[in-house]
Chains A and B, each alone.
Chain A
């Protein structure tokens, strides 16, 4: 236990001092935090519940649009803002900016949760690949439809309010870093708390055999919807932060980016190891380092590399890093292994 506390304290301290130690990587670290949040929340569905979704991008994009819309709409007419595009006719004062951001993030987190609750009953009744394809359709449909709505910028995009002129250039990066780091800490604490309760066991029961879980008297639909809502809450929050960080929202390339972010979250969770607390965190970190470190070497071939990466990970590495570690060092995971049995199994292979 004390080892865990030390580990958490070390990570927390690293997180708090990181933007000052590595000032050049502030934006990258903020994106990493958002990616970890997305992978962790995807894992609630895909890993723990066995409902592999491509649709969490819906909540992410919804949060992004909502946060920016509220931030603008609280003080200025939204339609004129989006119409003016890049040329700023309206300028947020610092107070307005931060108030708007705070209100926007609350809305960005709460509304997707409600949406998840409303559509959950209909969508979560589907199983297996029908669920996967249905959520894929939802994400793409949201992107296509939001690309046709004039008030949020339609095809030309939506510029989020620029950071007010306080504290110089460094302040913007630090503000968004601590915002996303805060979201990460909040998500991790919440998910860890959830995983230590009976709720996680119920989700695992749904994953392993939903019919049996239902026969045992668990109201599976209720728990599935709650799990989906928890995901939606943090996805929306992450989306809201990411919108401010990127500074520009496009319907299919930034917000409902099923081709990029929507696949990334699945990939990161699988790379790290589905159904573990730390898997998505490790997966997201490795993925982000790999992506940022090597992306530039591919010179435009990034997506080709991404496609190959997906295929390779899925075919040869479906258990992920945590799964591999678990097979290698089962003692560390609290599993008691009979040495003779293990040898026999190795020989069998």
Chain B
């Protein structure tokens, strides 16, 4: 236990800023999950592994001497095709089936990716050094790496870009129509199969962006995927599907929570506290709904 948080107010400021910058990144991943959950009604356990894979793309660019920030452009393009590939191979067979089937199938994909990444890239914790330096605030009491600010900025740009794309473009309209009523969309001439593939590809591309940013800002490791899945799932259920400001807010809230959990409980309990928070949120929702004799569905 460490009560530094209460003795030094600047640590609180530090934790809040760190948490908000981190949370914006989480919100980007959660946005992808909300997209494909809303459209295809699938919970993708492999979400976090897609993030890590995107991170490795940026890391390899860094290894070959290209500045990792370009990964933000390259990674989503590659990940889009990875996403479409996963859709064509596995997801299109589970779209209309029982939800548990899709959870288990994506769990299988998650294990597969985890291990393939472990073989291909090794089990070391790696990061792509962006060389952006740090910003000092309040007499050096608060230290912010510029890469974190950069990543939050890029996340916001991508999120806004996607919102505009979904509103204005033809594919965006088709995706929204399919989300509202897949059958009606089909009758009106939308190729839902293509829309599903594109949605999963977009989701993977968003994961790619987030992964590239995470490889610059934090560290990546083949086994670190599941916590990102759980975080995005948690953000989506707190915010609700299709509530984008809510996704951003709950993402930042989760980021701040994690930073404080890290300071107060210790780093070894960080991931544990995230998973425990998920259980608590679900149980809270369950009791709140059961008063009206309803349940989460």
Contact = CB atoms under 8 A, between A and B. Distances in A.
A140 interface: yes
A171 interface: no
Interface stretch (A99-107, A143-151, A185-193): A143-151
Contacts of A132: 99-100, 103
A130 B297 CA distance: 7
Interface string B98-116: 0111011101111111111
A322 B130 CA distance: 55
Nearest to B284: A122
A148 B268 contact: yes
A147 B269 CA distance: 8
B283 A137 contact: no
Interface stretch (B136-144, B169-177, B240-248, B271-279): B271-279
A122 B283 contact: yes
A306 B108 CA distance: 7
A138 B279 contact: yes
Given A300-B119, A310-B108, A134 B94 contact: no
Contacts, number: 135
Nearest to A210: B295
A303 interface: yes
A259 interface: yes
Contacts of A52: 100, 103-104
Nearest to A259: B111
A65 to B, nearest CB: 15
A134 B279 contact: yes
A132 B287 CA distance: 17
A128 interface: yes
Contact of B90 (A143, A303, A315): A315
A140 B226 contact: yes
A263 B108 CA distance: 9
Given A125-B295, A133-B233, A310-B108, A303 B114 contact: yes
B107 A263 contact: yes
A307 interface: yes
Interface size class of A (residues with CB under 8 A): 35 or more
Nearest to B296: A130
Contacts of A138: 275, 279
A284 B93 CA distance: 26
Of the candidates A147, A300, A311, the one having the most CB atoms from chain B within 10 angstroms of its own CB is: A311
Given A134-B278, A138-B279, A129 B93 contact: no
B112 A304 contact: yes
B296 A266 contact: no
A168 to B, nearest CB: 39
A222 interface: no
A127 interface: yes
B230 interface: yes
A141 interface: yes
A303 B268 CA distance: 26
Nearest to A310: B108
A194 interface: no
B43 interface: yes
Contacts of A144: 268-269, 271-272, 275
A246 interface: no
Interface in B242-291: 266, 268-269, 271-272, 275-276, 278-279, 282-283, 286-287, 290
Contacts of A226: none
A134 B116 CA distance: 27
A314 interface: yes
Given A122-B283, A125-B287, A132-B100, A147 B268 contact: yes
B100 A127 contact: no
A126 B107 CA distance: 20
Given A140-B230, A147-B268, A129 B108 contact: no
Nearest to A125: B286
Nearest to B111: A307
B107 A129 contact: no
Of the candidates A122, A148, A314, A315, the one having the most CB atoms from chain B within 10 angstroms of its own CB is: A314
Given A133-B43, A140-B230, A311-B108, A304 B116 contact: yes
Contact of A303 (B99, B111, B271, B275): B111
A314 B101 contact: yes
6 contacts: A125-B287, A127-B297, A128-B100, A143-B272, A148-B268, A311-B90
